[in-house]
Amino acid sequence: FIIYHTFPQYMKYVHTNIISKDWKALAGFYIQVFQCKLLLPQRNLSGDWLSEGTGVKEAKLKGAHLRLPGYGTKGPTLEIFEYDKMEDQADPLPNRKGFGHLAFEVAEVNKVLEQVLALGGKAYGSVVTKSIEGLGTLTFVYVQDPEGNIIELQNWGNVLAKKDTPTALDDSEKLPKEEELPLIVKRDSEEVLLDRPTNWSTESDSDLETPRSKRALLDALQRDLDASKYDLDATKEEVKYSREDAKYQVQKTKASLQYDPDTALEVPKSKQELLAELKTEMQSSETEEVVLPKAKQTTETPPIVRKEVEKIELPPIPSNLRVEFKKDKTVVVLDLDHLKLTLPSDTLAQNLWSFSNLTHPDNTAKTFLEQLGEAYRADLVPLKKQYKADATDKENEQEWALTPRLKDSLTHFIGKCEAGRNTLEELKLEQINRSPKEWIETYENLLILTLAVEAQGGTNIRLAYL
């Protein structure tokens, strides 16, 4: 025999992807109905690497991740993407082969259903409630989001206790040792009905065939147990369905009789009393006007008020960079055109802004820069200084960084990035379409700018994103 050793490997479910024709609108639907949280940055991905990984020629997509409710910052996400070129497909069906639906556990199914309908979704089925032994009382319904994707709304009530199972149905039976080796025989995973003699229990000992070995005796016993279990399960199913059928018949009978439990029980009247009432009614009908009973007014279901889905708003990504410095208390703008930068100024602006303003996908409380700076124990104070157009002059006055301190901080920070490359790679920069190489190159260019300011006598430096 060949024995293969398997070792546990790290594995984690991270996200479910939905391809949308309008990803901002669909993301807004899941945020408003299911309390999902938007995770920045927005994805705007393209290139040969994307085409190679997805198998889609000239792939270009945009979208974002949503944090699903109930799992905190470490849970899986819902990834909603919109490709530049998309293929049509048939409408989703609950029983169509392949991916079926998403499912959310909610406090009140009917209320969430109303929200789904109000924000452009549809009800695929009707709300039903079913008691399931050992699990509880399930209330659920299938709905569709505004783009037709199927979602299950579910709620589980109290858990119903399972009935005790016979001890004869244990997963394994141990036999005495044979040739000093333990023999353990486990029940098959599939339930198989095997023919067995109908007169098994009435046969005399002389008619029974003596097993040749313990294995033969065990096989015969196992077949008997399997058959008994099948009969027991079949009996349970018959009792279960008979009970449900009885409940249905009772409900049907009550409905046909228009049974009203609030109506007082009246004692049947005698024939003499009925004839006397009839004569009285006939005499009064000659002089009195007959008033017909009014028909009961049925309450109509109020119409569903449709709402517009609020599309998510994303922070604007800057398109250019301005570097200011102070020289003799005079503010001067650094000329970037004559510097030997390896990145265009617009790319440099977008990278610096994204690294210092966008939150990390695994830790939304910290930006990419803060996450890595904490790991490297770097001085981030001068790196986080930036001019803000919507801030007051007094607030922007606090955004000046000392040029020597920024130079020292960048030199230390870049050295840590190059030495601790593994930590940088764990930052998951691909989430914002960036790489560790671009990260290092971005801050190397910022160091070039800082040295240029120092060479021109600038004592303070400030970055502005336009």
pLDDT computed for residue 211 by the predictor? 47
pLDDT digits (tens, 9 = 90+) for 57-109: 999 998 888 989 988 777 889 999 999 988 887 788 888 888 889 999 999 99
Whole-angstrom Cα distance, residue 109 to residue 383?
49
For residue 118, count CB atoms less than 10 angstroms from its CB and return exposed for 0-12, middle for 13-18, buried for 19 or more. middle
Nearest Cα neighbor of 73 from 355, 371, 353 is 371
Cβ neighbours, 10 Å, residue 270: 9
Report which of residues 191 and 154 the model is more confident about. 154
Q: Of 120-134, 138-152, 195-209, 218-232, which range is least confident?
A: 195-209
pLDDT at residue 265 is higher than 70: no
For 394-422, what is each residue's pLDDT tens digit? Answer: 888 999 999 999 999 999 999 989 888 88
pLDDT for 232: 73
Fold classification of 1-88 (topology level): 2,3-Dihydroxybiphenyl 1,2-Dioxygenase; domain 1 (3.10.180)
Stronger pLDDT, 34 or 465, i.e. the higher one: 34
Q: Could you tell me what percent of the chain has a pLDDT over 70?
A: 64
Tokens of 167: 């001890």
Model pLDDT, residue 42: 76
In the prediction, which pLDDT does 332 show? 93
Residue 184's pLDDT band (cuts 50, 70, 90)? very low
Beta bridge partners of 186: 172
In sequence order, the β-bridge partners of residue 144 are 122, 150
Where along the chain do the CATH 3.10.180.10 domains lie? Answer: 1-88, 99-162
Q: Are 77 and 14 in contact (CB under 8 A)?
A: yes
Q: Supply φ then ψ for residue 127, to 5 degrees.
A: -70, 125
pTM passes above 0.85: no
What phi, psi does 398 have (nearest 5°)? -80, -5
User: Contact at 8 Å (CB) between 458 and 325?
Assistant: yes
Q: Is 119 exposed, middle or buried (0-12, 13-18, 19+ CB in 10 A)?
A: buried
Q: How far apart are CA 58 and CA 132, in angstroms?
A: 50
Query: What is the number of residues in the chain?
Result: 466
- How much is the average pLDDT of 348-352? 87
Q: Which residue has the higher pLDDT, 155 or 38?
A: 155
Determine the Cα–Cα distance for residues 82 and 61; give it in Å rounded to an integer: 5
pLDDT in tens, 426-451: 887 776 767 889 999 999 999 999 99
Rg (CA), the chain: 37
Return all residues near 398 (Cβ < 8 A) that are at least 6 apart: none
pLDDT at residue 330 above 60? yes
> Among the ranges 35-49, 166-180, 195-209, which has the highest mean pLDDT value?
35-49
Q: Is the pLDDT of residue 149 over 90?
A: yes
Write the CB contacts of 320 (distance below 8 Å, at least 6 apart in sequence): 345, 346, 349, 465, 466
| Mean pLDDT value of segment 262-286 | 62
Question: How many angstroms separate the CA atoms of 16 and 151, rounded?
Answer: 13
Query: Which of 282-291, 303-312, 388-397 ranks highest by mean pLDDT?
Result: 388-397
Q: What topology is assigned to 99-162 in CATH?
A: 2,3-Dihydroxybiphenyl 1,2-Dioxygenase; domain 1 (3.10.180)
pLDDT of residue 10: 76
